[in-house]
Amino acid sequence: MTLAYIMYVETIEKRCLELFGRDYKYSVIHNTNGEVCGHYPQQIVFLEYESTELHKDRFESTVQITKLQDLVNRSKMARCRGRFVCPVILYNGKHICRSSTLAGWGELYGRTGYNYIFSGGTDDTWGAESEPEVPEDDGVRNGDSQLFDKVRGLDIKLLRYLSVRYICDLMVENKKVKFGLNVTSSEKVDKAQRYADFTLLSVPYPGCEFFKDYKDRDYTAEGLVFNWNQDFVDAPLTIPVCFTKNLSINWSEYQSWDLVHQTQNYLKLLLHIINSDGHEGP
């Protein structure tokens, strides 16, 4: 990575912060060398509230940024490649967040082992208060379940701290399989139902592999339909009736939509959810 490239990135990030500052008061989680997440910017912005002319020069934080950063550091292992739940849009006091899907056991064991070895056997990823808020079963839990309880429990703590209530899963699979191994999972198929307190929507949307076809068609999306009959596609469209009844969309036809109609209808759904809920939070 050249010095010119680093300066170029820093210039872009500085400009982004200036633009955020025009409309919002915000806090920053520093990620200079990718120590929080190597896939996120060097400065991770947390938008707190909209700025008004009357209070332009005054800032009262709505969160404990050190607590938020601590939750982020402890929960990130629950998500594939450490891409933790991160607020990216603030609308009417609601945080719209992004993240990767849940990490599978292979990545969890790999990362915990890596952290333990390179911390000299003193890895404190979860800290003293590492017990999740998810109740244990009556029976004896095996090692896999205990590890999932721990990391996904911390992921749930972060979701609750951000007042998240809805989770929209865009995966076309229930679990992503590579070389016969489950490499990622999703909230909707968590065996212990740890995410049952959230409203889960399964809205399968083609992944990056499909968009190669989009590029090969000279970026023409009209008439481009995803092949839903592929062996790995097993996630159904699952949306609570309360969100669909007023949209005048025939959801039973979703597998026949081309990329344009699918994107339009999913956006209508998401905007309806964001606008129809009158309470604080995403």
CA 276 – CA 165 distance, rounded (Å) = 13
Query: Does residue 160 or residue 142 have the better pLDDT?
Result: 160
Q: Give 144 or 140, the one with higher predicted confidence.
A: 144
Task: Find, among 254, 256, 244, 136, the residue nearest to 204 by Cα.
Answer: 254
Separation CA 59–CA 55 (nearest Å): 8
Q: What sign does the dihedral 93-169-226-257 (CA atoms) show?
A: negative
The tokens describing 169, both together, are: 């899963």
| pLDDT of residue 127 exceeding 80 | no
What are the tokens at 209?
Answer: 């592999």
Q: What is the pLDDT of residue 233?
A: 93
Lowest mean pLDDT across 24-28, 173-177, 185-189? 173-177
What span, in angstroms and rounded, lies between the C-alpha atoms of 38 and 35?
Answer: 7
Write down the pTM of the prediction.
0.81
168: helix, strand or coil:
strand
Strand 94-98 and strand 176-178: the pairing is unpaired
Name the least confident of 26-30, 46-50, 137-141, 163-167.
Answer: 137-141
Q: pLDDT confidence of 66, banded at 50, 70, 90?
A: confident
